[in-house]
């Protein structure tokens, strides 16, 4: 069984009289990529800053590989690699010099390990160029390389794909998945790019007003029990009667009826339609995108 890499227990943060984080509980296993999403001001950065020790907790605890950041900070922190806000890089030094500079700060990070992370993030060709000349994508990759130098069990990335073009986003996504699968690293990513989260993460937590209001596996069909289904029928009015009898919500009433129902009720509804002589041409479940779910859960709050 994989070990729990990160555990948040009733984590709270009060600034002045305002409770910004209201008791967050979550855990991330080794080898798991966890997306932490929420509208602006929901509390993502505050939570991350507490996990990495940049801000004190006002309540609860954070454990990394079982070590508390409150009572065992040094032991807990050595298992974290993070990019919070922008990665700190020296523009007048080459990529190689930057990494060697950080490698010296950790015990046991060899030259071979530096070479390994460079190839993992695909920076071999530019590693001897000055970082000042790097594109944003290259800088992000170097930032990730720096964060994983000491082989942390937990990698935390705050908006890692911010400002990257689609090709850059794809590359970062691939490195992150590789890290989780090959090196068993637990990764926590905060982002507002929901489509990215869907492709990159195993599980997501949605945070709103300082609380995790929903947590779900990204590819778990069982969490999609309430579906939107498109019914293509010839006799709309008769079909509507069937749906109304069953107290189902009809969302759209053009030539196609979009109805919300549980997956296991589909056969029954189709049977009723046929019994009422409705000619059914098609029944298509629409997989609600994460964005739909997110907007539904946050009551339509607009995200960037
Ligand atoms: N030092 C502070 N003093 C007072 N309020 C603060 C402070 N830092 C953060 N806040 C408030 O806490 C809430 C959460 O902010 P936070 O930056 O954690 O949100 P976020 O989810 O990361 O948002 P964004 O996506 O915009 O970065 C916001 O309402 C913010 O105004």
Same-domain pairing of 39 and 90: yes
Rounded to an integer, the average pLDDT of 53-75 is: 94
Same-domain pairing of 226 and 202: no
Same-domain pairing of 176 and 121: yes
Q: Is there a domain that residue 304 lies in?
A: no
Task: Evaluate if residue 46 carries a pLDDT over 90.
Answer: yes
Rounded to an integer, the average pLDDT of 65-83 is: 93
For 14, the domain range is: 4-220
Same-domain pairing of 269 and 123: no
ipTM: 0.94
Residue 44 Cβ contacting ligand 1 at under 6 Å = yes
Same-domain pairing of 138 and 153: yes
Nearest protein CA to atom 18 of ligand 1, as residue? 43
133: confidence class by pLDDT, cuts 50, 70, 90: very high
Domain boundary pick from 188, 220, 252: 220
Same-domain pairing of 56 and 180: yes
Q: Is there a domain that residue 303 lies in?
A: no
How many domains does the chain fold into? 2
Task: List the CATH number of the domain containing 157.
Answer: 3.40.50.300
Q: Is there a domain that residue 22 lies in?
A: yes
Q: Is there a domain that residue 144 lies in?
A: yes
Paired sense of beta strands 203-208 and 33-37, if any: parallel
How far does the centroid of ligand 1 lie from the alpha carbon of residue 253, in Å?
42
Q: What is the pLDDT of residue 298?
A: 64
Rounded to an integer, the average pLDDT of 23-42 is: 93
Q: Which mutation among 19, 20, 38 tests ligand 1's pocket best, with the greatest number of atoms within 8 A of CB?
A: 20
299: confidence class by pLDDT, cuts 50, 70, 90: low
Domain boundary pick from 220, 251, 284: 220
Q: Is there a domain that residue 302 lies in?
A: no
Q: Is there a domain that residue 299 lies in?
A: no
Task: List the CATH number of the domain containing 252.
Answer: 3.30.70.100
Residue with token string 């596996």: 217
Same-domain pairing of 129 and 178: yes
Q: Which mutation among 13, 17, 24, 44 tests ligand 1's pocket best, with the greatest number of atoms within 8 A of CB?
A: 44
Residue spans of alpha helices (H) in the chain:
44-51, 73-77, 95-105, 111-120, 136-148, 166-183, 194-200, 236-245, 266-275, 290-297
Q: Is there a domain that residue 237 lies in?
A: yes
Range of 26-40, 78-92, 285-299 with top mean pLDDT: 26-40
Same-domain pairing of 228 and 144: no
Q: What is the pLDDT of residue 175?
A: 83
Nearest protein CA to atom 23 of ligand 1, as residue? 41
Q: Please state, in angstroms and rounded to a whole number, the distance separating the CA atoms of residues 23 and 290.
A: 24
- Long-range contacts for 158-166 (Cβ within 8 Å, ≥24 apart)? 158/44, 158/45, 158/48, 158/82, 158/83, 158/84, 158/85, 158/190, 159/190, 159/191, 159/192, 160/83, 160/189, 160/191, 161/191, 161/193, 161/196, 163/136, 164/136, 164/137, 164/140, 165/137
Q: Write out pLDDT tens, residues 85-100.
A: 777 789 999 999 999 9
Same-domain pairing of 52 and 95: yes
Residue 235 Cβ contacting ligand 1 at under 6 Å = no
Question: Which tokens belong to 196?
Answer: 């990215």
Q: Which ligand 1 atom sits closest to the C-alpha of 47?
A: 18
Same-domain pairing of 216 and 68: yes
Q: Is there a domain that residue 200 lies in?
A: yes
Same-domain pairing of 85 and 232: no
Q: Write out pLDDT tens, residues 144-196.
A: 999 999 999 999 998 887 777 777 788 888 888 888 998 899 999 998 767 76
Q: Write out pLDDT tens, residues 264-292.
A: 899 999 999 999 999 999 998 876 666 66
Domain boundary pick from 181, 200, 220: 220
Q: What is the pLDDT of residue 122?
A: 85
Same-domain pairing of 106 and 212: yes
């Amino acid at each position: 069984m994989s070990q729990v890499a990160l555990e948040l227990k009733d984590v709270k943060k009060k600034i002045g009289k305002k409770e910004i984080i209201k008791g967050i509980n979550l855990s991330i296993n080794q080898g798991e990529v966890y997306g932490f999403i929420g509208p602006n001001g929901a509390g993502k950065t505050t939570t991350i800053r507490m996990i990495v020790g940049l801000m004190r907790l006002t309540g609860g605890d954070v454990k990394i590989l079982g070590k508390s950041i409150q009572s065992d900070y040094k032991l807990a922190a050595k298992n974290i690699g993070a990019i919070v806000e922008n990665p700190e890089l020296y523009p007048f030094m080459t990529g190689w010099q930057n990494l060697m500079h950080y490698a010296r700060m950790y015990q046991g990070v060899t030259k071979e390990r530096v070479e390994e992370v460079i190839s993992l993030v695909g920076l071999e060709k530019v590693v001897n160029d000055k970082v000042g000349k790097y594109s944003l994508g290259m800088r992000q990759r170097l930032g990730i390389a720096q964060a994983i130098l000491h082989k942390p069990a937990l990698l935390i990335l705050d908006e890692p794909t911010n400002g990257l073009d689609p090709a850059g986003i794809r590359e970062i996504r691939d490195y992150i998945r590789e890290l989780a699968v090959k090196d068993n690293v637990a990764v926590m990513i905060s982002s507002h790019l929901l489509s990215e989260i869907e492709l990159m993460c195993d599980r997501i937590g949605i945070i709103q007003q300082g609380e995790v209001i929903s947590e779900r596996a990204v590819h778990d069909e069982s969490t999609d029990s309430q579906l939107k289904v498109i019914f293509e029928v010839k006799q709309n009015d008769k079909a509507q009667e069937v749906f109304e009898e069953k107290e189902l919500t009809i969302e759209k009433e053009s030539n196609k009826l979009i109805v919300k129902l549980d997956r296991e009720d589909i056969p029954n509804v189709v049977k009723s339609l046929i019994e009422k002589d409705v000619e059914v041409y098609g029944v298509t479940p629409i997989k609600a995108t994460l964005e739909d779910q997110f907007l539904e859960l946050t009551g339509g709050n607009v995200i960037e």
